[in-house]
Amino acid sequence: MKNFVFTLPLFILFSFTSSIGFAQTETNTEEKPKTVIITMNNGDEFRGEIVSQNSERIVLKTVNGELSLIVANVRSIVDDDYTGKYSFENPHDTRYFFGPSAIPIKKGKKYYQNVLVTANFFNYGLTENFSIGGGFEFISTLSGEPIWFLTPKIGFQVSENVHIGGGFFTAGLAGEGSATLGYGVFTLGQSESNVSLTAGYGLADGEVTDTPVIVLSGTHRISNNIALLTENYFLPESSYFGIHGIRILSNKNAFDIGAIVIPEIADDIPALPYVGYVRVF
C-alpha cells in the first residue's frame, strides 16, 4: 500500500509533464474569431461574437445559438482573450487543492475558497503581480476564539511556460499568537497543465525552522469540465502526505474532490476525504 501511495502521485506528475512538453510543440495556425464576454446587471455572463448592436439590443452568437440581449441590462462588455481549446478558461489556476502555484491572480479578480467545509478564504488581485487574502475557520469563530488566516502572494511570468512567485501563509488564534510559513514557488507550464515546486520555512515564537517543507503539485485539464490534481507534502523528518483527486470546472466555479493519503496510517485508514469549493468573481 505504501509503495502505491508514493507511485501514484509520481505517475500523475509524469503525465502532466509529458502533456506540457507536447503542448509546447503543438502549433495552431487557425485564427479563432474575436469573442467578447458580456456581463448583465444580474450577474449572468454570456460569451460569443457580436453579430449586431444598436441602442436597444445586442445580438450575440454563442455556442448554443444567437441571443438577443437588452442593452439597458448590460453591465459590461470585455474582450475574451482566452485562446485555449475549451469553451472557457481555467477559472482557478492560482492554487491546487490548497497550496499555491506561481501564477498570480489577475488585477481586479477575486475569489472565495472553502476548504473542508469549515475554513473560508478570500483573495483579491491588487495588481497584476500581487494579491492579498485571508480568512477564518467557521467553528472556532462561533466558539468565540476564531482561528484566522493571512495569505498574501506575489507572482511573475518570466516566459511563456514559466512563473515564479512567493508569499506567506499565517495562521493565528485570537489572543494566542500566530505561526507563519514563508514560501517560494516555481511553476512550469500554463493554466491548463502545469507542475509546481514549492519550498517554505516556518516561523513561530521568533524561531525559523531548520528544514524546509517541500511541496510538489500538478494539474492537468482532461476535458472541458474536469482537471486532475495532485499535491504532495514532504515535511521535516521524512514525513509525507498527499492529496490526489479531481477538480470539476465551470466558468466561475471549481469543485475539488480528493483523497488525503498519509502513509503512516495507510494500513488502517487508506485515505481521508477532501472537499473544496471556489467561486471566482
State the CATH class of domain 2-25+92-280.
mainly beta
Check: CB of residue 247 under 8 Å from CB of residue 225.
Answer: no
User: Taking the model in full, what pTM does it have?
Assistant: 0.81
206 burial (CB, 10 Å; 0-12 / 13-18 / 19+) is: exposed
d(CA 279, CA 155): 21
Q: Where are the domains of the chain?
A: 2-25+92-280, 35-80
HSE on the CB side for 209, CA within 13 Å? 18
> According to the model, what pLDDT value does residue 50 have?
93
Contacts of 97 (CB under 8 A, 6+ apart): 229, 231, 243, 245, 256, 258, 274, 276
> According to the model, what pLDDT value does residue 141 have?
94
> According to the model, what pLDDT value does residue 12 have?
54
State the CATH class of domain 35-80.
mainly beta
pLDDT in tens, 159-215: 999 999 999 999 999 888 899 999 999 999 999 999 999 999 999 878 899 999 999
d(CA 80, CA 89): 10
Check: CB of residue 216 under 8 Å from CB of residue 233.
Answer: no
Residues of the chain with pLDDT under 70: 1-33
